[in-house]
Chain A
Amino acid sequence: MFNKILIANRGEIALRVICACKELGIKTVAIYSEADRNALHVRFADEAICVGPPRSADSYLNIPAVISAAEITNVDAIHPGYGLLSENANFADVCETCHIKFIGPPGDVIRLMGEKEKARQAMKKANVPILPGSDGVIPNAEEAREWAKQIGYPVIVKASAGGGGRGMRVIRAEGELEQLFNSAQAEAAAAFGNGNLYMEKFIERPRHIEFQVLGDSNNVISLGERECSIQRRHQKLLEESPSPRVTEEMRSRIGEKLENCLSAIGYVNAGTVEFLMDEDGSLHFIEMNTRIQVEHPVTEMVTGIDLVKAQILLADGANVKEIIPNVERRGHSIECRINAEHPEKFTPSAGKIKVFHTPGSVGVRLDTAAYAEGVIPPYYDSLIAKLITHGKDRDEAIMRMQRALEMFIVEGVYTTIPLHRRILADEEFRAGNTDTKYLERLFAKLQEQRAKEAVAQS
């Protein structure tokens, strides 16, 4: 077993990894930027090394600094968390060269899944359903037109080398294709240095469904799905497991396909396979994330499995079927991402937390690195806490979340708690009618309500 692990991350996930290490009797090394000097992950780790000034690029993303910190503290392994260097294939390779175990899949697998188009082809070969789309990269608008005819409008062109909405265009009719194709290509080239585009069928109101997997070098097991349809600008806000629309049959069918495909690829450690579900309920693969995800707790609550511990054990060479002899699912879990943002304007709200009263009691879990008198620095993402509930069914999980949100008091910074309360009270959400356009509809509803109230008062 590893003697010491360096956590190449910050915030709540760094603390999460420290928790798993404490339970496994593994010593921890935290790294931090000057802005995180008073952060909780620094205080709870056994050792801590300052790796740079506040900007991520100079500190948390500074590979020489991170590796150097790992060397001077003599760690056996590095856990990269999520975001930051977790899907940086080059970093995984550097760790290997330096004889430090990277807790995740090897660089080549990260690379494969990072090239979206290649990942699609790999899945297609394994009979995992993918969105109808082009066979590889489309060189020009002419070919794009042919593909679009075959696939059927509406279609979306996407950058093979990147994501986050850049190099992406939805094309609803042949007339607009040429112009949109060319502008997507230019944007992709500018953003990622690579203008390669591929095309997929576009689903107007998809549900975002993702499957959690864990693998050793021989086997991969599926731990079931999460639904993450409630998003704003491609950022997830609320996640749950199981999905109200995934049947047991779908779960085992897709699960089995993934297990076979990913074992064949030699997938190791934790990963999440993302799908879009179209209006008639079929699942289509879009991409795979080769790391632990923010929303991993909802799977932990439903299966009872500690995913971060599993990651560490798998990296240490354990057998996945020994760690997890069988997967059981109980009840329903929901997670709300509490961001330090204005709940309506979404402007980031950095600053000092004056009051931090956290909820608890039955079925409530809080993953956070925030604390009263702590300062939220402006340099990093705005996630300050993940509030997770579990119940025997979806209604109970919802009820517990409402109670917990009501008793979660944060003062000094704005948070998205009021927004989550609105979502949890909304009848569309409660009925399980969610898709990636859900939040837009909710905002429109709220605006209408407000307009009506304004008129009523005047």
Chain B
Amino acid sequence: MNQKELKELIDFLVEKDISEFELQRGDEKVKIKRGAVVHAAPHIAASFPAPEMSSAAHLGSTVSVPPAHTTAPLATQEDLHIVKSPIVGTFYEAPAPGAPPFVKIGDVVEAGQVLCIIEAMKLMNEIESDVAGEIVRRLVTNSQAVEYGQPLFAIRARK
């Protein structure tokens, strides 16, 4: 999707007052949430934060959102704890292909419980929850590439 197409798309959404929109074309994915940020990602989490983001989409240079922006609305809405990736690598939801996932939405986990694996340099790293609570959201997809600080799970922490 080039900038012109993107601009037309956004103008259309604004005109029709559509607040959320998602489109996948091959390995190009566009997700737009109005009032927050524009996020266009190939299958890798690419991050080009623009210093000033106004509420209409900012088309200046490139597009994306630093992890903080996507987590802020989530977290403030419900006071959720976000588990972030401590390393760069590939996210896997289960210990092996075909095996059941470590956790699913609704599970209650303890601090230190393994939530997922992130593979880095052929090593499988088990990622543990830093809090106890209920898994509310999973924020990445299986075999997605993740960067340092990437939000993985939203947990409603037990008080």
Contact = CB atoms under 8 A, between A and B. Distances in A.
Given A48-B46, A69-B147, A98 B88 contact: no
A64 B145 contact: no
A50 B62 contact: no
Interface in B1-56: 42, 44-51
Interface in A16-40: 34, 37-38
B77 interface: no
B150 to A, nearest CB: 8
Contacts of A38: 49, 51
A68 B120 contact: yes
Q: Chain B CB within 10 Å — which of A38, A48, A59 has the most? A: A48
Nearest to A69: B88
Contacts of A59: 148
A71 interface: yes
B87 interface: yes
Interface residues of A, number: 24
A315 B150 CA distance: 33
B87 A50 contact: no
A47 interface: yes
A47 B44 contact: yes
Contacts of A50: 47, 67, 88, 147-150
Contacts of A51: 88, 147-148
B48 A72 contact: no
A64 B44 contact: no
A72 B149 contact: no
Contacts of B42: 47
A313 to B, nearest CB: 27
Contacts of A37: 47, 49, 66
A440 interface: no
A52 interface: yes
A68 B121 contact: yes
B147 A43 contact: no
Interface of A: 34, 37-38, 42-43, 46-53, 59, 64-65, 67-69, 71-73, 98, 373
Interface of B: 42, 44-51, 61-62, 66-67, 87-90, 120-121, 145-150
Given A42-B47, A68-B89, A69-B88, 5 more contacts: A43-B49, A49-B47, A64-B120, A72-B145, A373-B51
